[in-house]
């Protein structure tokens, strides 16, 4: 079943639930059945539900904005003409879907509307959603969005990204998660440039109960990474997470330093780093796209971490990321707390985003 079919199914289910709810509101019998259901629910199901709720909550702003923009677009809908397709493009660009991706979606809509000779507002809105979902799905085929953990040896994960995007916070959250799964985790504080950066990682280490390898402020970051690898190997750690600086004297220095860190890692462990994760702040929208393109030119990025999705209405950027960057999103940050990091669930994400926008067709 395609992704759009799944969304339609979820939409239909929700419609049915809504109808049933209004009919049965006064029945006390129903209430007790619901209560019994709740107590029978086991822990893992509850956990799963918690995750879904976190996603739902974290994406609330994006969903609302997407919904509002779509409503505005269709509120002024008169007929399918060139003006309408232009408005579609503008709406998508305004929802941070990105210029090229917006043009592509509008073009796909234009063709499908013509093919089906669609005129009804509700039908056209559904086709638009279908086209967005299709593009999302097609661009994500073969995407490897789970972290590449080694089974019986050390996994090294390097975190890169400009200052303030959330590298250190993400490492802290991930360390906590992995540690609670029983993995032995070590952190390397290779941001020796910014005052306070080492201490910040040490605090995260304490919070999540993992060891942090540090050097003095101003020390060569590559030497800290070297120490981190040595310690990880001698202590049989499962995962080494490497924090890096977001800002140096200039961009060239930053890229050179990252390259050096990477060389040192590969010299010690030939198939490492196993992941180079570029951290992007979703609230910066198209700026994040620019950063990604720059990092991609100089570093072999293997995946993305999209942070601060909870604080932004710009979640539509995922469509642009898929279409223009071809990098899998592996983790998403949905808040500042230690628990607010999720493995990216691609389907959950689109279903959550688009389900409520579907229209009942007559």
The binding site for ligand GTP (CB under 6 A) comprises: 161, 163-169, 191, 194, 197, 246, 279, 307-308, 310-311, 333-336, 340
With both helix axes pointing from N to C terminus, report the angle between 3-24 and 346-354 in degrees, rounded to the nearest 10.
50
Taking the CA atoms of 318, 298, 163 and 150 in sequence, report the sign of the dihedral they define: positive
Cβ 319 vs Cβ 136: under 8 Å = yes
Q: Where are the beta strands (DSSP E) in 52-200?
A: 155-160, 185-190
Closest CB to ligand GTP among 283 and 323? 283
CB of 201 to ligand GTP, least distance (A): 9
CB of 336 to ligand GTP, least distance (A): 4
CB of 37 to ligand GTP, least distance (A): 33
Pick from ligand GTP, Mg ion, none: which does 163 bind, CB < 5 to 8 A by kind? ligand GTP
Closest CB to ligand GTP among 283 and 302? 283
CB of 301 to Mg ion, least distance (A): 17
DSSP 8-class letter at 280: E
Cβ 262 vs Cβ 274: under 8 Å = no
Closest CB to ligand GTP among 208 and 307? 307
Pick from Mg ion, ligand GTP, none: which does 311 bind, CB < 5 to 8 A by kind? ligand GTP
CB of 59 to ligand GTP, least distance (A): 12
Closest CB to Mg ion among 168 and 323? 168
Pick from Mg ion, ligand GTP, none: which does 129 bind, CB < 5 to 8 A by kind? none
CB of 212 to Mg ion, least distance (A): 13
Pick from ligand GTP, Mg ion, none: which does 208 bind, CB < 5 to 8 A by kind? none
C-alpha 189/C-alpha 261 separation (Å) is 12
Closest CB to Mg ion among 167 and 173? 167
Binding-site ranges for Mg ion (CB under 5 A): 167-168
The Cα-based distances of 289 to 162, 204, 331 in angstroms read 12, 28, 17
Cβ neighbours of residue 206 under 8 Å, at least 6 residues apart?
none
DSSP 8-class letter at 275: E
Closest CB to ligand GTP among 179 and 359? 179
Pick from Mg ion, ligand GTP, none: which does 307 bind, CB < 5 to 8 A by kind? ligand GTP
C-alpha 102/C-alpha 79 separation (Å) is 20
For the chain, how many helices (H) and strands (E)? 14, 8
Query: What are the phi and psi torsion angles at 243 (to 5°)?
Result: -90, 140
C-alpha 326/C-alpha 342 separation (Å) is 20
Extract the tokens encoding 235: 């202590």
Pick from Mg ion, ligand GTP, none: which does 166 bind, CB < 5 to 8 A by kind? ligand GTP
CB of 240 to Mg ion, least distance (A): 16
CB of 247 to ligand GTP, least distance (A): 6
Write the DSSP string, 77-108.
---SSHHHHHHHHHHHHHTT--HHHHHHHHHH
Pick from ligand GTP, Mg ion, none: which does 302 bind, CB < 5 to 8 A by kind? none
Closest CB to ligand GTP among 157 and 197? 197
Closest CB to ligand GTP among 285 and 335? 335
Pick from Mg ion, ligand GTP, none: which does 260 bind, CB < 5 to 8 A by kind? none
DSSP 8-class letter at 220: -
């Amino acid at each position: 079943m395609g992704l759009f079919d799944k969304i339609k199914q979820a939409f239909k289910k929700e419609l049915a639930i809504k109808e049933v709810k209004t009919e049965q509101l006064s029945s006390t019998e129903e209430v007790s059945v619901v209560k019994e259901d709740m107590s029978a629910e086991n822990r893992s199901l509850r956990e799963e539900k918690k995750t879904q709720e976190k996603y739902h909550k974290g994406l609330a702003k994006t969903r609302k904005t997407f919904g509002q923009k779509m409503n505005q677009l269709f509120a002024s809908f008169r007929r399918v003409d060139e003006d309408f397709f232009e408005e579609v493009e503008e709406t998508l660009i305004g929802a941070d879907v990105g210029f090229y991706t917006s043009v592509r979606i509008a073009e796909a809509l234009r063709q499908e509307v013509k093919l089906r000779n669609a005129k009804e507002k509700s039908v056209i809105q559904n086709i638009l959603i279908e086209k967005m979902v299709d593009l999302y799905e097609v661009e994500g085929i073969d995407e490897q969005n789970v972290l590449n953990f080694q089974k019986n040896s050390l996994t090294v994960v390097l975190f890169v990204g400009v200052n303030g995007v959330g590298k250190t916070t993400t490492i802290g959250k991930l360390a906590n998660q992995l540690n609670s799964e029983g993995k032995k985790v070590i952190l390397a504080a290779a941001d020796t440039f910014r005052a306070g950066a080492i201490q910040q990682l040490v605090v995260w280490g304490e919070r999540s109960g993992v060891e942090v390898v540090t050097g003095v402020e101003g020390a060569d970051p590559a030497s800290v990474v070297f120490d981190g690898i040595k310690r990880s190997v001698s202590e049989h750690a499962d995962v080494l997470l490497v924090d890096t600086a977001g800002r140096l004297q200039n961009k060239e220095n930053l890229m050179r330093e990252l390259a050096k860190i990477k060389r040192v890692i590969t010299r010690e462990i030939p198939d490492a780093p196993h992941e180079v994760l570029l951290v992007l702040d979703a609230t910066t929208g198209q700026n994040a796209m620019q950063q990604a393109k720059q990092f991609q030119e100089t570093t072999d990025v293997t995946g993305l971490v999209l942070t601060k999705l909870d604080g932004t209405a710009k979640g539509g950027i995922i469509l642009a990321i898929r279409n223009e960057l071809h990098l899998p999103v592996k983790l998403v940050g949905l808040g500042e707390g230690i628990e607010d990091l999720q493995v990216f669930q691609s389907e959950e994400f689109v279903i959550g985003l688009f389900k409520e926008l579907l229209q009942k067709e007559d």
